[in-house]
Amino acid sequence: MGTGFILIGFMGAGKTTVGRCLSGKTGYPLLDTDCLIEEQAGMTVSRIFKDFGEEEFRRLETETVKSLLDRAGDWVLSVGGGLPLREENRELLRRAGKVIYLKARPGTVLDRLKGDTTRPLLRGGDVRERVESLMAFRGPVYESTAHMTVDTDGRSPEDISDEIVLLCSQA
Ligand code: S3P
């Protein structure tokens, strides 16, 4: 297994914020699959969805994780919420490092994503309903992909990061 920290979970679960904090604590650089894809493609995730469709975005996600496996060194990786849905990706993630599921309730995610316009999957319609149904499907997938699960509801990124460092030092 690689030595990186890999953060998975739903949109708005705090992967990027916790990732930043964890990066500060460990000294490992923070990488983010959405950012890597945007840099490589020269366009935003929203644009990729709009112009090329979700399938193409998912293909780019797999390519990105594969390229990370070839990259030596330690990092904290924040992973797009839908990336673990592909079985191939789940295996790649588990090989790349310690996979940590940041778990959040729908209400927490809805609060954090209020006013957000960057998530194509949450645009239009009844957002609460969408979050609840996506989460019901994805929750078990995240659980089964992760080496460990950390609850994030009502907690600070600092507190969550401390727990991750502790859990990983014991694993
Ligand atoms: C997605 C999550 C987003 C981004 C894209 C699709 C998803 O990343 O990859 O909008 O399917 O859950 P975040 O989890 O960082 O919001």
| Predicted confidence (pLDDT) per residue in 96-152, tens digit | 899 999 999 999 999 999 988 899 999 888 999 999 999 999 999 999 999 999 999
- Residue 48, ligand 1, Cβ within 6 A: no
What's the gap in Å between 164 CA and the centre of ligand 1?
A: 22
- Residue 109, ligand 1, Cβ within 6 A: no
Q: What is the mean pLDDT of the chain?
A: 94
CA dihedral 57, 63, 66, 71 (to 10 degrees): -110
| Predicted confidence (pLDDT) per residue in 26-51, tens digit | 999 999 999 999 999 999 999 999 99
3-state helix, strand, coil in the chain (%, to 5): 60, 15, 30
Q: How far is CA 63 from CA 55, 92, 96, 104, 170, in A?
A: 13, 10, 14, 27, 32
Tell me the CB-side half-sphere exposure of residue 15, using CA atoms within 13 A: 27
Atom of ligand 1 nearest to the CA of 15: 15
Rounded to two decimals, the pTM is 0.95
